[in-house]
Every structure is written in C-alpha cells, then in structure tokens.
C-alpha cells in the first residue's frame, strides 16, 4: 500500500519569523497522517511532538542535535553579504535548510518501513496552503505516500520548480534567493537521492571554501542542477498546494 516514506525535520528557534508553536500548528496534519513518516526533531521539540503522534500511525521520530550537522563546524566569515531577511535568513537557518538532503540520506539508509521511494516535505509547508483543513492536509500526505512510483523517480530526483530553469538567474546566485526550485518538496528512490545528497554536500563545502559563506538550499540545488541536469526531473508548481498535487 505504501510506496514512499515521508521525511521532514524541525529544529526550534532556527526561523525567527515564525514561532515553534506556529510551526507545530502547521505540522499537525503532517504528524497525524497515517502513512510512513520519519520526522527529525531536536530534544526540545521532541517533548511536544511525541504526544501528537498517535500509536500505529507509522511515524518514526528521530532526535537530532544541530551541532552534529556537517555544516555546523564550518565558519562563514562573509555571510553578511547575503541579501536576505536578516531576521529569518541566518546562517543557522541556512545550515538547517541545506541539511534537508542529509535527513533524506539518513532516511534512505534506515528505511524502517521498507518503501521504495522517499519524499521530503517541509515541516511547516501547510503555511502555503492554508485553505486546507488539517484532515485534508493529512489526506494529501497519505495520497502522496501511496501513489505508484513514477518512472522518473527511478532515474532522477523529482523536484518542484517555480522559475523556468533555462532563464538567467535574478541577481547574484549566492547573495540573492533564486526560486528555480521551490525547496519544500522533492523525492525519488535510493540511488538518486543519495547522489543528490552527495552533490549538495560537495557544493555547499565548495561555496564555503571559495566564498566564505553559505546560501539558500534552493540556490545550492540550482548550482548542482547546472552541472548535473540529468539528475533532476522538475515539475511545475508555485508556493501553494500544487507542491503536493503536482508531484
């Protein structure tokens, strides 16, 4: 019945524009969805999330320490050059966002539910589709987990895009956010997702080494795409419910 494991993560205090209680309200439907899920959370969030996960709803919660993220050990002396929201777009937040592929890597390695596919869904993604009730959101997550594996998922990363990938970047590809990819949803099968994680890690470390900063995960992925176009199958969407319905 289940073809994909849903993967998500949350670390409290990383997004200063949105409180942890607000994130948890957005994630209620995700947490209540009765399908295979692996949710990575910090120790503080674990105390709140665990009671929300009903017995038998196929959720594995993994406690994480942000200090263990591979990017946490690297300094970024030029991070001040980023033209973002100074409250939200902090180095700590970017480290978390760029760790999405690492969370998926760990999910693929453990695969407690034995699924062929895996899909990353942002923990607070429901904020882009507020018209959905929690029950409707849960149903969409369950539908995504049960859909047959698509042919392109066997050979590429299926990922939501916004801008035309063939157009020129807008501004600087390091200093200005590039919405070629949406960031909130991507998936595939083991081999391509591990390759995606490897190339994302290598690109992040290259950017830090050469420029002394880190950038948005979508900017990193765009640069990975430029060098590995066959690794990606991009489907059109916007920052709304189409992130899920168009997958």
What CATH number corresponds to the domain at position 170? Answer: 3.90.550
Q: List the beta bridge partners of residue 187.
A: 119, 158
Sheet holding 59-63, edge to edge: 59-63, 37-41, 4-10, 117-121, 181-189, 157-161, 232-236
pLDDT under 70 in the chain at which residues?
A: 13, 15-18, 54-55
At residue 16, the pLDDT reads 65
At residue 15, the pLDDT reads 67
Structural domain tally of the chain? 1
At residue 48, the pLDDT reads 78
Q: Which domain holds residue 219?
A: 4-245
Asked whether 32 and 138 are in contact (CB, 8 A), the reply is: yes
- The tally of CA atoms less than 13 A away on the side-chain side of residue 60 is 15
Q: Which two tokens stand for residue 81?
A: 């050059």
Give 245's contacts (C-beta < 8 A, 6+ positions apart): 140
Asked whether 105 and 197 are in contact (CB, 8 A), the reply is: yes
């Amino acid at each position: 019945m289940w073809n994909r494991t849903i993967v998500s993560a949350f670390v409290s205090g990383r997004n200063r524009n949105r409180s942890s209680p607000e994130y948890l309200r957005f994630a209620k439907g995700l947490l209540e969805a009765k399908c295979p899920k692996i949710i990575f959370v910090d120790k503080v969030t674990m105390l709140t999330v665990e009671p929300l996960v009903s017995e038998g709803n196929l959720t594995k919660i993994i406690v994480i320490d942000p200090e263990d993220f591979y990017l946490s050990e690297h300094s970024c002396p030029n991070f001040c050059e980023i033209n973002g929201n100074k409250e939200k777009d902090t180095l700590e937040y970017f480290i978390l966002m760029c760790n999405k592929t690492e969370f998926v890597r760990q999910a693929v390695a453990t695969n407690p539910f034995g699924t062929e596919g895996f899909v990353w869904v942002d923990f607070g993604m429901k904020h882009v589709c507020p018209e959905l009730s929690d029950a409707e959101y849960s149903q969409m997550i369950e539908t995504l987990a049960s859909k047959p594996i698509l042919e392109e998922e066997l050979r590429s990363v299926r990922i939501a895009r916004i801008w035309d990938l063939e157009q020129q970047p807008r501004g600087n590809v390091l200093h200005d956010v590039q919405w070629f990819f949406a960031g909130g949803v991507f998936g595939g099968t083991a081999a391509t997702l591990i390759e995606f994680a490897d190339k994302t890690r290598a690109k992040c470390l290259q950017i830090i080494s050469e420029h002394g900063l880190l950038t948005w995960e979508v900017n990193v992925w765009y640069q990975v795409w430029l060098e590995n176009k066959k690794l990606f199958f991009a489907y059109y969407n916007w920052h709304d419910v189409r992130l899920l319905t168009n997958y």
